[in-house]
Amino acid sequence: MDNKLNAKDLINVGLFTAIYFVLFFVAGMIGYIPFFMLLLPFLLPLITGIPFMLFLTKVKKFGMVTIMGIIISLLMFATGHGWPVLVTGIGCALIADLIFKSGEYKSWKKTVIGFCVFSGWCIGAMLPMWIMRDAYFEQMRAGYGNEYTDTLMGLMTNWVFPILIVLLIIGGIIGANIGRASLKKHFQRAGIV
């Protein structure tokens, strides 16, 4: 089998990245309400499960998932989400791609694990709240005023971070299963996959 990516693969990557990004944007809008920001790592894999599982049925070669991650993190970086998202975006996508590959892009268990890892990129956008805590909230105070900042700062204590990871994994597992169920229910019947 030819292992190099051809134009058709690249077009598929572009297609699904576009859908993924639109859905992410919808989830991101909800993240503006202070409390719901915590739910973002849960919501993101939950609603992107269906397109991502559909995308994976088109992926047979190494590299496609990585390119998707690179493009998402480039776009996030260009829209001002800071450099950590570049690191987590490219890193998570690469690891996820390796996990998918080790299961030959078929193993369901590895698909679920890989999907959880891939969705981990969104932690990068929130990471500055912990690793650059003072600078981040100082910046936020200048941009949002005191009330909003204090509400958020009270929410984002250190023990919240592991909870976010757990939420991400739960969201990933549910999202992947929703994706698989809807592939069975709709797409196989329609003859698309």
68: contact with another protein by CB under 8 A = yes
Residues 6+ apart with CB under 8 A from 96: 65, 69, 114, 115, 117, 118
**Selected range binding another protein among 76-84, 90-98, 101-109, 155-163, rule: CB under 8 A:** 76-84
Interacting residue with another protein among 19, 38, 86, 174 (CB under 8 A): 19
DSSP single-letter state for residue 127:
T
Q: Is 1 in the site for another protein (CB under 8 A)?
A: no
Cβ nearer to another protein, comparing 67 with 107: 67
Residue 5 as a binder of another protein (CB under 8 A): the answer is yes
Residue 63 or residue 103: which is nearer to another protein going by CB? 63
How far is residue 12's CA from residue 56's CA, in Å, rounded to a whole number?
10
The phi-psi region of residue 125 (left if phi > 0; otherwise alpha if psi is between -120 and 50; otherwise beta) is alpha
Instruction: Give dist(CA 88, CA 72) in Å, integer.
Output: 11
**132: three-class secondary structure by DSSP:** coil
In the bound complex, what is the minimum distance in angstroms from residue 15's beta carbon to another protein?
A: 4
Near another protein in 111-150, by CB under 8 A: 139, 142-145, 147-148
Contact (Cβ atoms closer than 8 angstroms) between residue 95 and residue 74: no
Least distance CB 126 / another protein (angstroms): 14
Alpha-carbon dihedral sign for residues 43, 47, 48, 53:
positive
Kindly list the residues in this chain that would bind another protein in the complex (CB under 8 A).
5-8, 10-15, 17-19, 21-22, 32-34, 47, 50-51, 54, 63, 67-68, 70-71, 74, 78-81, 139, 142-145, 147-148, 151, 182, 186-187, 190, 192
